[in-house]
């Protein structure tokens, strides 16, 4: 999965936030819709898209979608 | 006076005895004088449970109860019972949107189908004696509350509650009592499933939401089980015993 595809898939996990709001540099924790529900969806996305297991702590440890993409690669 | 909570002279089968709540129950039953049959998948961990137990005459029954063949073999080796505690269970976090039939079937197999079919076999073979006590370990999840991603797990735990009510009626004529225990979060290896997803920080935040400011210990649940297995609870059947450090109060 490329960074671009990841951003699209990431955006797809959100129901309220428009897709245009998502870019590699988006600080996802600042989004109104960010919360336990979306966090759990992203954890599942990492597993489905990359076969990588990430935790809530991982999600807290970085800021942008690109940071997270890179973090997942290191797993 | 005679101790009404004693399990002296009773023979108790505990599934999932290789760790967590099942191990705690096996150890407590032995302490209260019972002879315990320990069922689980991992021989080494069952032996470890056995090494923690007092008294003698306990038996290790290693095998995967998800297999019908194994259930038959295990039941053949089982003597007449005065109590059964169905503890074997798995946890799973899966949101409804992403649910897969295979993993849903997996958790239903371990948490519902296997214990129910083992119970059927034990009844058919008349292994459960008059005035026995049967316990299913449910959860606060399902009947009492839930959290995101817990739909599958909660459904299995709620299923046990429905089953137990009917079973209690069917077995009442023989004086056999059937109850569920609904624990809140207990410090067990199962917790690591959630821990892997949520991390220690979230778990600590959850712990603080318990009015008694801690998660349960296997012994807490074991003492509940001892009560339900003993003659002290002779008039209790079809009940759902909640033990959660006050978590569901608010």
Is-contact B27 B49, C-beta < 8 A?
yes
For B96, nearest residue in chain A (alpha carbons)? A41
Res B200: pLDDT: 74
For B195, nearest residue in chain A (alpha carbons)? A55
pLDDT digits (tens, 9 = 90+) for B69-87: 999 999 999 999 999 999 9
DSSP string over chain B: ---TT--TT-EEEEESTTSHHHHHHHHHHHHTT-EEEEEES-HHHHHHHHHT--SS--EEEES-TTSHHHHHHHHHH---EEEEEE---------GGG--HHHHHHHHIIIIIHHHHHHHHHHHTT-EEEEEEEEEE--SBTTTB--TT-HHHHHHHHHHHHHHHHHHHHHGGGT-EEEEEEE--BSSTTHHHHHHHHHHHHHHHHHHTSTTSS-B-HHHHHHHHHHHHSGGGTT--S-EEEESTTGGG-
Determine the Cα–Cα distance for residues B189 and A12; give it in Å rounded to an integer.
34
CATH T-level fold of A3-13+25-74: 1.10.1200
pLDDT digits (tens, 9 = 90+) for A26-37: 999 999 999 888
- Taking alpha carbons only, the member of B26, B106, B66 closest to residue B74 is B66
Neighbours of B60 (CB within 10 A): 16
The domain locations on chain B are: 11-190+218-241
Task: Look at B197 and A37 and tell me if their CB atoms are within 8 Å.
Answer: no
Determine the Cα–Cα distance for residues B169 and B179; give it in Å rounded to an integer.
11
Question: φ and ψ at A36, to 5 degrees?
Answer: -65, -35
Look over chain A and give the mean of its residue pLDDT values, rounded to a whole number: 93
ipTM above 0.95, yes or no: no
Burial class of residue B89 (count of CB atoms within 10 Å of its CB; 0-12, 13-18, 19+): buried
Q: Which among B148, B196, B199 has CB closest to A40?
A: B148
The size of the A-B interface in CB pairs under 8 A is 30
CB contacts of B94 in chain A (<8 Å) are: 44
Burial class of residue A32 (count of CB atoms within 10 Å of its CB; 0-12, 13-18, 19+): exposed
Active site residue B86: no
Task: Look at A53 and B196 and tell me if their CB atoms are within 8 Å.
Answer: yes
Among residues B144, B153, B163, B210, the one annotated as catalytic is: B153
- A56 CB near a chain B CB, below 8 Å? yes
Convert chain A into a string of H (helix), E (strand) and C (coil).
Answer: CCHHHHHHHHHHCCCCCCHHHCCCCCEHHHCCCCCHHHHHHHHHHHHHHHCCCCCHHHHHHCCEHHHHHHHHHHC
Q: Which among B95, B200, B202 has CB closest to A41?
A: B95
Determine the Cα–Cα distance for residues B37 and A12; give it in Å rounded to an integer.
51
pTM of the model as a whole: 0.91
pLDDT per residue as tens, chain B (250 positions): 789 999 999 999 999 999 999 999 999 999 999 999 999 999 999 999 999 999 999 999 999 999 999 999 999 999 999 999 999 999 988 899 999 999 999 999 999 999 999 999 999 999 999 999 999 999 999 999 998 899 999 999 999 999 999 999 999 999 999 999 999 999 887 776 565 666 677 788 889 999 999 999 999 999 999 999 999 999 999 999 999 999 999 8
Q: Which of A43, A45, A54, A61 to mutate to probe the B interface, most B CBs <10 Å?
A: A43
Q: Determine the CATH number of domain B11-190+218-241.
A: 3.40.50.720
- A36 CB near a chain B CB, below 8 Å? yes
The domain locations on chain A are: 3-13+25-74
């Amino acid at each position: 999965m490329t960074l671009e595809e990841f951003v699209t898939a990431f955006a797809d996990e959100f129901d309220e936030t428009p897709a245009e709001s998502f870019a590699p540099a988006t600080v996802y924790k600042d989004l109104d819709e960010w919360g336990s529900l979306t966090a759990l969806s992203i954890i599942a996305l990492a597993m489905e898209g990359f076969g990588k297991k990430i935790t809530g702590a991982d999600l807290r440890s970085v800021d942008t979608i690109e940071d997270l993409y890179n973090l997942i690669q290191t797993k | 006076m005679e101790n009404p909570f004693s399990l002296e002279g009773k023979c108790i089968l505990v599934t999932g005895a290789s760790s967590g709540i099942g191990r705690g129950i096996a150890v407590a039953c032995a302490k209260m004088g019972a002879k315990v049959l320990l069922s689980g998948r991992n021989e080494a961990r069952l032996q470890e449970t056995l090494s923690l137990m007092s008294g003698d005459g306990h038996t290790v029954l290693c095998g995967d109860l998800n297999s019908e063949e194994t259930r038959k073999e295990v039941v053949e080796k089982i003597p007449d019972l005065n109590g059964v505690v169905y503890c074997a269970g798995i946890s799973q976090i899966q949101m409804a949107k992403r649910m897969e039939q295979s993993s849903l079937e997996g958790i239903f197999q371990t948490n519902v189908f296997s214990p129910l079919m083992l119970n059927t076999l034990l009844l058919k073979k008349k292994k459960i004696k008059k005035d026995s006590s049967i316990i299913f370990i449910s959860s606060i999840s399902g009947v009492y509350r839930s959290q995101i991603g817990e739909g599958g797990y909660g459904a299995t735990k709620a299923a046990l509650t429905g089953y137990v009510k009917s079973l209690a009626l069917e077995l009442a004529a023989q004086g056999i009592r059937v109850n569920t225990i609904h624990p809140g979060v207990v410090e067990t290896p199962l917790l690591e499933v959630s821990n892997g997803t949520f991390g220690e920080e979230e778990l600590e935040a959850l712990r603080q939401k318990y009015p008694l400011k801690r998660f349960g210990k296997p012994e807490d649940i074991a003492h509940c089980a001892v009560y339900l297995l003993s003659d002290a609870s002779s008039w209790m059947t079809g009940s759902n015993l909640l033990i959660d450090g006050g978590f569901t109060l608010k």
